[in-house]
Structure 1
Amino acid sequence: MTDAGSQRGLAAVLAELRGRSRSGARAGWARVRGGFGLAMQAGAGAGIAWYLAHDVIGRQSPFFAPISAVITLASSVGQRARRTAELVLGVAIGIGVGDAIIELIGSGPWQIGLVVVLAILVAAAVGGGTPLVVQSASSAVLVATLTSATGLPYTRFFDALVGGAVGLVVMTLLLPLNPLTVVRRSADPALEAMAEGLHAVAQGMEQADADEVRAALARLRAAEGNFAAFVQAAAAASENVAFAPARWRSRGALSQYVEGAPHLTYALRNVRVLTRRVITAIDDEERIPRCLPTSVALLGDAVDLLRHEWARGAEPEATRERALRAAAESGKAYDDGVGFSGGVVVAQVRTTVTDLLRATGIEYAEAPRLVRRAVGWHGRGRMPRRRGPGPPAREAS
């Protein structure tokens, strides 16, 4: 290799390293920004809990108060109020049981085992879920192994209650996280995954590349976790904003995510059905009209537009327009001639468009009517007869 070639290769490597460094720094800064609100909450909660337990109540070493406050705040991000209350109660139960056992029979291996058993049984007896049971058991172990009883019995139990109460107050009243920011961080990866998957499916259809479509299907299946997190975050944000007056102004923009999340989950399932049928069509060497990959690509554009319009808090008019264009483009497949699998793809495009319209706030009865009109079947009682084999396409739902 010549010196000039070596220099070019070195320059390319250095440029790549600089790019990675910049992207890594941006990702790290994004993570810092994302965790800043929680850090402020936890710091304030720990300080206030110590002040109340030590200076106001008079406890000499109330270290379980700030611990309980931090656990409550750190564990409640994206969780609903019931689960947060369970965490507080779980910490208090574990500490109370641990204190009682150590006070009565001392500490040791079998005492630790007994503490855990009793803490879990008490947590189960009060009807707690997994968060309560886990926190109860871990807090009991902490008491039994790392601390010694000081002062009156059960004082650390009340320290934990003080800390948990402070955590709840900080979370809901003093420094509430912006629920819109929390739910947007959950929604963006889900919507990005669906949009990228649809674009990859469209490209695979156009090139008759079944392997590329299979790879897209694998990514869409993996996106199920992102959508589950999105739905959970939307439900939690809706509940949290009700208890945080400082965030009430976010309710309008937040409602778009809350009301749209279930319909987008339905859309993801329909997109996966669509993708599997595309693989079958390619494997069977079925003729795929050019309008079908165009339609699927437009569908991916609509999902991406929805992400941006929701982020701006705008009415998703561009999303609706692009989704209906996808439906109209898919309807051309019947004129071009479409086989069995292609007909299923058309039906799934229309059904997914209906789900997207519902996610943008269109009423249940209006969404399929708009889809029929876009396809050109408005006012018809039945679907037109398709060219080629296979059963008639089903009505979008």
Structure 2
Amino acid sequence: MSPLSSPAPWPERARGAITGWFTTGFSRGRSDALTVARAALAASLAYLVSGFLWNHEHPFFSSIVAFIIIGFGIEKKMRKVVELASGVMLGVLLGELARSLLGSGTWQIFVVVLVAGLLARFIDKSSLFGFQTAIQSLLVMIMPVTPGMTPGGRVLDALTGVTVAIVVHLLLSGNPLRLQARAACSFFGELDDTLVALALAARSGDHGVARAALVSLRSSSQKYTDEWTLANDVANEMATFSPTGVRHAHQVERLQHLLIGSDRAMRNMRVIARREVEFLEAVHGDAHSRLADALLAARDAVGALREAVQRDEVDFTEARRRLRLFCSYLTPEMLLQNDEGTRPGRAGHFEGVTLTIQLRSLAIDLLQSTGLSAVEAKRFLPSLVVAADGEAIGPRPLTREMRALEPPATTEALELLITDRSDPDRTR
């Protein structure tokens, strides 16, 4: 084994693993800090409210219930909050009923957990509902009875915890746009990395780099789509139910629409990566710097989209400008010549044209994600209609027949470029 391929010494590998674990954990903790703080606040408030209202000495059920309902992560949508609250209350009631009728002991625990689990599965298919029903009935059976605590008192504490948790969830959910922006940035970061890798492959002619980008994209791209979809669902509920989130409803809707075109663009990127691998294989590794420039222009447009979603008022004007530059590359005449100025052979031409068409589809997807219709987006693309004049072949002034086949970009495309959909002065 050569020195270049030998593994790093174990102290370096251990240091790298520890550093990676610490960095990942710190990032995870920072992103969930507000949620954990809300859960802690709900637990402490529930304990305080139960003690004040019901004069219970140790109302621990209030804190337990409130913390469980708030929990960790952004996936606590209203449906899940209601499922948790219903499961908690049913479990507490079943536990209290079993304790008063059967007492507390080993076989009683078996009976109540079995009944609670089966009843929960009968009522609702949600595993979350069933888990909370069973665990709360178990807690009622095994927790010691404190002085002055009555069966009805534990039910009151649980109900107080549920109420406090729902109020905290609605009032302190935060800005729903932050959830969407964080998911969108991760999504566009994956697109950005892939476009850079494909540009490097085109500039160097190395189809192995493009193939590695394709493998990476196939393994991870769906994760980013799923995260953004979840963030959209949560943000939509926050903008619907939370008093602090209602004012963001319009922007939440715009970022939901952004995912539609962006998801199609991500799926398109997998096809583009595969087409580029086949194109570079067909041209035997020739360097194509102009293709690389086009991919980097697409990367700049994706970067503008990522910057747009991080603003309080989403504006896609800059993204459309960058997409217009990307579109200017998208003809076979621009993309298929290698760095020596020669065009590919028959096989390379076929793969190159296919790649060009797929890149045009990517441009339309990204333009539509900014709020344009398909017809409006297509006006940004250069015409593919060409006319022959002796030995010269290239774009020519369109005849009436050609114009009917593919109309050229008009001044309306420039209006669409600089005018955002949120502009009240826009005529349509």
- In the superposition, the TM-score normalised over structure 1's length comes to 0.79
Which residue in the other structure is 1:90 paired with? 87
Unaligned runs of 5+ in 1: 1-16, 384-397
SS of equivalent residue, structure 2 residue 245: helix
Query: What are the superposed Cα offsets for residues 258-290 of structure 1, whole Å, 9 maximum, x if unpaired?
Result: 221122111111101111222223334466754
Which residue in the other structure is 2:422 paired with? none
Separation in 2 of the partners of 1:105 and 1:116? 13
Q: CA deviation at 1:192?
A: 0.7
Number of aligned residue pairs: give it.
365
SS of equivalent residue, structure 1 residue 53: helix
SS of equivalent residue, structure 2 residue 373: coil
Q: Of residues 350, 353, 363 in structure 1, which corresponds to 2:363?
A: 353
**Does the aligned pair in 2 maintain the 1:199–1:300 contact within 8 Å?**
yes
Q: CA deviation at 1:148?
A: 5.0
Q: CA deviation at 1:155?
A: 4.1
Query: What are the superposed Cα offsets for residues 227-268 of structure 1, whole Å, 9 maximum, x if unpaired?
Result: 211111012102212222223333344333222112211111
Structure 1 residues 374, 325: closer, same or farther in 2, change over 3 A?
A: farther
Q: CA deviation at 1:76?
A: 6.7
Separation in 2 of the partners of 1:374 and 1:54? 75
Query: What are the superposed Cα offsets for residues 56-97 of structure 1, whole Å, 9 maximum, x if unpaired?
Result: 133343211111111111257343211221122122223333
Letter aligned with residue 309 of structure 2: W
Which residue in the other structure is 1:308 paired with? 307
Structure 1 residues 79, 42: closer, same or farther in 2, change over 3 A?
A: closer
Query: What are the superposed Cα offsets for residues 353-374 of structure 1, whole Å, 9 maximum, x if unpaired?
Result: 1111121111243223433569
**Does residue 118 of structure 1 match 2:115?**
yes
Which residue in the other structure is 1:80 paired with? 77
Separation in 1 of the partners of 2:108 and 2:280? 65
Higher helix share: 1
SS of equivalent residue, structure 2 residue 169: helix
Which residue in the other structure is 1:281 paired with? 279
**Does the aligned pair in 2 maintain the 1:327–1:374 contact within 8 Å?**
no
**Does the aligned pair in 2 maintain the 1:291–1:330 contact within 8 Å?**
no
Q: Of residues 175, 179, 184 in structure 1, which corresponds to 2:176?
A: 179
Q: Is 233-242 or 123-132 further displaced after alignment?
A: 123-132
Q: Is 34-43 or 216-225 further displaced after alignment?
A: 34-43
Which residue in the other structure is 2:295 paired with? 296
Q: Is 315-324 or 281-290 further displaced after alignment?
A: 281-290
Q: Of residues 235, 245, 255 in structure 1, which corresponds to 2:253?
A: 255
Query: What are the superposed Cα offsets for residues 140-188 of structure 1, whole Å, 9 maximum, x if unpaired?
Result: 3433444559844354344223212211111112x23221222222222
Letter aligned with residue 405 of structure 2: G
Separation in 2 of the partners of 1:44 and 1:144? 27
Q: CA deviation at 1:129?
A: 2.0
Separation in 1 of the partners of 2:371 and 2:41? 39
Q: Which aligned pairs between 1:229-268 and structure 2 lie closer than 5 A?
A: 229-268=227-266
Which residue in the other structure is 1:366 paired with? 376
Which residue in the other structure is 1:136 paired with? 133
Q: CA deviation at 1:334?
A: 6.4
SS of equivalent residue, structure 2 residue 405: coil
Structure 1 residues 289, 255: closer, same or farther in 2, change over 3 A?
A: same
Q: Of residues 405, 416, 421 in structure 2, which corresponds to 1:381?
A: 405
Q: Is 337-346 or 371-380 further displaced after alignment?
A: 371-380
Separation in 2 of the partners of 1:339 and 1:244? 56
RMSD: 3.4
Separation in 1 of the partners of 2:89 and 2:247? 34
Higher radius of gyration, 1 or 2:
2
Q: Is 147-156 or 354-363 further displaced after alignment?
A: 147-156
**Does the aligned pair in 1 maintain the 2:92–2:136 contact within 8 Å?**
yes
Q: Is 245-254 or 373-382 further displaced after alignment?
A: 373-382
Letter aligned with residue 267 of structure 1: A
